[in-house]
Structure 1
Amino acid sequence: MRENWSDNEVDLIVNDYFSMLIEELNGNSYNKSEHRRHLKPLLNDRPDLSIERKHQNISAVNIELGLPYIKGYKPLSKAQRSKLIPSIQRYILLNPEIQKVLDSFCNNADLVSPSVVQFDELLVNPPEKNKSVLMEPSPSFKISGKINYLEKEQHNITLGKKGEELALEFERNLLIMAGKEALAKKVEWVSDKFGDGAGFDILSSNLDGTDKYIEVKTTKLGIYSPFFFSSNEYKFSIINSENFHLYRIFNFSDSPKMFRVRGRYDKFCSIEAVQYKGHF
């Protein structure tokens, strides 16, 4: 049986992971197999599966720390987290130039247009509400001045608007294909007209004509990237659980995909309180 990863091995694979992540965030291609081939001798020839899983562990910790992750490495938690967190922190501190890459990723508005997306290729099945990929209780710090880059990306106004525009056109097309052209004409982009205070972004209709409330969350990252919602949005989903839908759009700047879930937030995903209000 292989012994646990040493501090040096963890640092080596973290460095390798971030070298790939930087290429991905910059829109450059890279070869994972080639990276693994060069890395393997430095890790005492650990099995490929062990290296793969450690990359997945890094994805999980990155998400926990508010950092982007490599799309191809599905988050896998609960493996030497106590070593990975300080190793990632050391990498960020020793490589301050990565903050420019992260900021550029969050602020970049070079996005695809909804008009070029094929609606019949857009939908995928939602991921399962699987506790095996959930994070352990988050540490009391974030990387780089407590910036949560996942949340910062979601606050990119252009990204959010483009995602909502895509969902709007998808919804209209959905109704038209169902023979409900009159309902399609009534679909309303609420957040664009009135702002974000309504608790949802798009007012559409179910096929029977009843109201359908759609909240859109968009990311350039992969399907497992967490999203953030307000207390108002959460309460709205509870009150209107029968007709509330989340449209989660991901891979937006590459090859956009979307999954849809219905109901209140705490029923279709695991939620974590990230902010509290104190009262006297």
Structure 2
Amino acid sequence: MADGERNEDWTAKELDLIVADYFAMLNAEIRRASYDKTQHRKALMGQIDRSNGSIEFKHHNISAVLQLLDLPWINGYKPRAHFQKSIVDAVERYILKHPAAQRPEALAQVFSERPHLFVEPPPQLEPKKDHPEFVQRLVRKFNPADRDFLNRQLGYNGEEMVFKFEQQRLKQMDRSDLARKVRWISQEDGDGAGYDILSFDQKGSERFLEVKTTVGSQTAPFYLTRNELSFSKERPREFRICRLYDFSKIPKMFELAPPLDEFVHLEPLSFEASFK
């Protein structure tokens, strides 16, 4: 987008500087370190000769790009869409040069106290949105579902949080006997059961919990295996997906109960090729 005062498009160098500065602030926020947005903008004004308002507007645009990638964005810089391809290219250059930007949870301090989780309502299912091809290409390149699925440590940390949450939940219901029976199936028996955590409700009925964790937003996409989907159909009363999100800042959670296609769009992504 052209700058309103200079009436000139931002150069690649200017965009690279502002994106790098944005991530410096974002990383400080994730580490829970103090920083001053105003001072950052003043420093940038001395480097790139842009107005305070112009720089601030670009910060909002960067937030919008990160929102599309389901990565955290800076509090106070609410995403503003209608950005040009140049800002998408600048974010792409930064992530390629700094791969750790896709793992913001690694910057977060270890939680001094386990966050208090509670089960929120799931988000409403909405129609899929169309985006320009250059945006779709960026999302394909840095696929949020791929990113979270391949992040083994993130998955482990999310499962651990739900495991401990279930134990605590049962203790608070005066069911310490059941709390002791909660099992971390994926760690004790390995993957393949179709769920990660075996827990119970207050009456002692089983709960089969599949944990999906993301550093992204409430509506970040995730992968569901054929085995997990099949198990959800076999045991719909007991099966739940525990969706942890915003994990690099303040983890939150909601549950999805079968039939899952009432809550999410389910699309096959691969096919098994066999000879017999």
Tell me the TM-score normalized by structure 2. 0.69
Q: Aligned pair in 2 of structure 1 residues 204, 44: CA closer, same or farther (>3 Å)?
A: closer
Correspondence for 1:16 among 15, 18, 32: 18
* 1:198 and 2:205 are equivalent in the alignment: no
Q: Is the 8 A contact 2:3 2:9 kept in 1?
A: no
Which letter does structure 2 place at the counterpart of 1:187? V
Task: Report the CA distance between 1:236 and its aligned residue.
Answer: 2.5
Share of identical aligned residues, percent? 23
Structure 1 161/185 Cα, relative in aligned 2: closer, same or farther at 3 Å? Answer: same
Question: Would you say 1:98 and 2:98 are equivalent positions?
Answer: yes
* Residue 60 of structure 1: aligned partner: 67
Q: After alignment, is 196-205 or 7-16 more displaced?
A: 7-16
2:261 equivalent in structure 1:
266
Partner of 2:124: 129
For 1:7 and 1:188, how far apart are their aligned partners in 2?
A: 60
How far apart are the structure 2 equivalents of 1:55 and 1:147? Answer: 15
How many Å apart are 1:172 and its aligned residue? 1.1
1:43 & 1:252 partners in 2: Cα distance?
Answer: 34
2:89 corresponding residue in structure 1: 89
**Secondary structure at the counterpart of residue 259 of structure 1:** strand
Superposition pairs for residues 147-158 of structure 1, below 5 Å? 147-148=142-143, 151-158=146-153
The one-letter code sitting in structure 1 at the alignment partner of 2:225 is S
Shift of 1:201: 0.7
Tell me if structure 2 keeps the 8 A contact 1:217–1:247: yes
User: Does residue 276 in structure 1 map to residue 260 in structure 2?
Assistant: no
Which position in structure 2 is the counterpart of 1:70?
73
Of structures 1 and 2, the larger Rg is shown by: 2
Distance in 2, matches of 1:240 and 1:185, equals: 23
The amino acid that maps onto 1:204 is S
- What is the Cα deviation at residue 35 of structure 1? 5.3
Whole-angstrom distance in 1 between the partners of 2:10 and 2:26? 23
Per-residue displacement from partner, 1:106-159 (whole Å, max 9, x unpaired)?
A: 79497636x83153xx33634632638x65368564479x45366334432232
Alpha-carbon distance between aligned partners in 2 of 1:220 and 1:189, rounded to the nearest angstrom: 22
Which stretches in structure 1 are left out of the alignment for 5+ residues? none
2:9 partner SS: helix
Any conservation in 1 of the 2:243–2:254 contact (CA below 8 Å)?
yes
Any conservation in 1 of the 2:27–2:107 contact (CA below 8 Å)? no
Q: Aligned residue pairs: how many?
A: 261
Question: What amino acid is aligned across from residue 236 of structure 2 in structure 1?
Answer: S
Q: 1:112 aligns with which of 110, 117, 129?
A: 110
Show structure 2 runs of 5+ residues with no match: none
